[in-house]
Structures are given as C-alpha cells and as structure tokens.
Amino acid sequence: MCGRFTQTKTREEILQQLVEIELPPLFQNRYNVAPMQKVATIRNLDTKNAEESIWGFLNPRSSSPVINARSETVYERPMFRNLLTNGRCLIPADGFYEWKGRQPYYFQLPEKELFAFGGLWKNDRCVIITRAADNTMQGIHDRMPFMLRIGQWTSWLSSPSPDRFLHEFQPPEMTCHPVSRRVNAVRNDDPACLSDAEIQEELF
C-alpha cells in the first residue's frame, strides 16, 4: 500500500524538472504527507495546472477513507470502475514511506528526482493506485504504489488502454533506507523525518 509520502522539492527544483507546471506553495517542502490532507493532482498536462485534491475517498462502509486502489481489481470495485477511463491523475512526489512493524523505511528514485503516483480522482478527492511489490520492497511490504517517471506522465493520462498500461508497466528502480520514527506521527512534517535510523529489530 502507500500511506505516507514526501514532496520535498523547492519551487525552483520543481520548475526545472516539470517545465511550466508549477505546484502551489502548499505542495513544496512536505516531509510527511498523510491521508485526508490536501495533495496536488495533475489531471491534464495541457492546462499546465495542478489541482488541489483531498487524499482519500469517503467510504460508506467505514469511518476510514479509501486511500489506495489495487491495480488488479480496479475495474471490479464500483468505487473505481469508471475512473480508470475518465478519472486518471498524477500525484507528484519525490519519495514514500513503508513500514515493517513500527520501523519506517523511505523509498525514492536513485537520482532523488521528482516522479508521480498514478492515481484516480473524483469530486476533488483522489486515491493512489498500488500494485504487487518489486524486489526493492521484498521483506518490507507486499504492495507498492504505481510510480511514473516524468517522461511517462503523458502516456498514463492519455493511454487508450490504461488497464494494459497498468499490468505491463515495470516500476522504476528505487533506493531504500530506514528512517526516524518521527514520521509515525502525522504532526511531524519536517526534514528530521528523513534522518537515517538504526533498524530496531525488537519492533518487528
């Protein structure tokens, strides 16, 4: 799954990489983005605008929001069924967290560059699509977010066969290291969340 992520780039770094697409200040220097918070979503690359969305669909069967959509069943669930055709989006990020026990790990591209999660949106809310984990995640979690390098963004938004795109797409190479348990608390949203940490075996 994907339950927290980062977007630590500055305005200048974002403009260098995205060219003409500017994320509002709310989406810069974020170290612990959590569900039910506002995130930036890009729904159409031609408009050059990023929209604000709340991360998580309301769940009529639970008080907890739905924050992820499994790629294998996205066409089967009524909540997502039509969105793969008409509600795809990009959620810019530069890293994400996953937990083994209470120990968080931080994942990012080797070059620490900006990427995007492939997502779905409706009514100004969004979810992140997940898929089976690759070897980088082995032993930490069996799921991972659907990640797209900048050069693949147009293909995701415009693909006439998004289901095939999802199932044939190979995730990019990532790096991973254990980080401070500060990130476990949503109130902590600062660079210290990314501090290297010793793996604490007793937590597993």
Q: Which pLDDT belongs to residue 202?
A: 46
Domains of the chain: 4-194 (3.90.1680.10)
Q: How far apart are the first and last CA of the chain?
A: 18
Structure tokens at 112: 């620490």
Q: Minimal CA–CA distance to 195: which of 34, 6, 35, 26?
A: 6
Catalytic residue, candidates 2, 89, 126, 193: 2
What's residue 145's pLDDT?
A: 94
Q: For the chain, how big is the Rg over CA atoms in Å?
A: 16
Two structure tokens written together for 155? 């293909």
Catalytic residue among 89, 98, 126, 193: 98
Q: What is the pLDDT along the chain (204 residues), one digit of tens a residue?
A: 689 999 998 878 887 777 667 677 777 889 999 999 999 999 988 877 788 999 999 988 888 999 999 999 998 889 998 899 889 999 999 999 999 988 999 999 999 999 999 999 999 999 999 999 888 887 899 899 999 999 899 999 998 888 888 888 888 999 999 999 999 999 999 999 999 887 655 443
Q: Please indicate whether residue 193 is annotated as part of the active site.
A: no
Contacts of 117 (CB under 8 A, 6+ apart): 2, 5, 90, 91, 93, 96, 128, 129, 145, 146, 147, 148
